[in-house]
Amino acid sequence: MTSTIGIIGSGNIGSALARAFTAFGHPVVIANSRGPASLAPLVAELGDLATAGTVEQAAQAGELVVVTIPLGAVASIPSQLLDGRIVIDTNNYYPARDGQIAELDDESLTTAEYVARHFAGATIVKAFNHIPAREIAGQAQPAGTPDRRALMVYGEDAAAVERVSALVDQIGFDAVIGGGLAASWRIQRDMPAYGPRFTVAELAIKLSEARRYRDQ
């Protein structure tokens, strides 16, 4: 089953996911802050399944929308724009880029909870935040491949989590469901599981080694 996926953000991760999704037959509507004309080369590369749009058009293109922009820019998207959508949140917090965000500094919220608070009418699923963009294509493998790379998926809504997990599996990775958004701190920036390639078993070990920033 294919479905149209909106992608807000055309940077490294957004572009890599657009390539992966269209390779499996999913139409994408991709947007960035610079406008549709700036996306002409990427859309030409991706072919007929890709359309450049405004942020509003990407947000409303389908039930699934990827938000993959600097975390500090999340608040610039109108909070109601993604109401009723399943939002795949790929974001990470980098204070030097995003500015200081008090709730993330004191760890009262995870990055996913921060995004979910802004898009209160959407269903947030955390995924694709702990893999470098180039490895989305470079390390994808068919289901059943021994020692396939694993990626975490977090969310409160079981059906949405399963849907995103199926997409993770389709484009080449074992999906590991990690619990609710509050648990997603274990896969945030600088945690042991963040970045390198791990199998399901290896990822479980790295998650168990995670410690809150305040305890490091």
Residue 96 corresponds to which tokens in the numbers above?
Answer: 């030097």
Q: What are phi and psi of 179, to 5 degrees?
A: 110, -160
Q: What is the pLDDT of residue 71?
A: 97
H helices, E strands: number in the chain? 9, 8
Residue 216 corresponds to which tokens in the numbers above?
Answer: 């490091």
DSSP result, 77-114: S-TTTTTT-EEEE-----HHHH---HHHHTTSS-HHHH
pLDDT in tens, 71-100: 999 999 999 999 999 999 999 999 999 999
Q: What is the pLDDT of residue 35?
A: 94
Rg (CA), the chain: 16
Q: What is the pLDDT of residue 8?
A: 98
Q: Are 70 and 92 in contact, with CB atoms under 8 Å apart?
A: no
CA–CA distances in Å: residue 145 to residues 17, 20, 140, 150, 201: 21, 18, 10, 11, 14
Residue 103 corresponds to which tokens in the numbers above?
Answer: 């709730």
Pairing assessment for the beta strands 123-126 and 86-89 based on DSSP bridges = parallel
Three-class secondary structure of residue 110 per DSSP: coil
Q: Which residues of the chain have pLDDT under 70?
A: 1, 216
Three-class secondary structure of residue 88 per DSSP: strand
Q: What is the pLDDT of residue 2?
A: 79
Q: How many Å apart are CA 39 and CA 97, to the nearest integer?
A: 23
Length in residues, the chain? 216
Residue 81 corresponds to which tokens in the numbers above?
Answer: 């724009």
Q: What is the pLDDT of residue 216?
A: 61
Three-class secondary structure of residue 50 per DSSP: strand
Strand 64-67: give its sheet, edge to edge: 50-52, 28-31, 5-8, 64-67, 86-89, 123-126, 150-155, 174-177
Facing residues of 86 across strands? 64, 123
DSSP result, 132-180: -HHHHHHT---TT-TT--EEEEEES-HHHHHHHHHHHHHTT-EEEE--S
pLDDT in tens, 167-194: 999 999 999 999 999 999 999 999 999 9
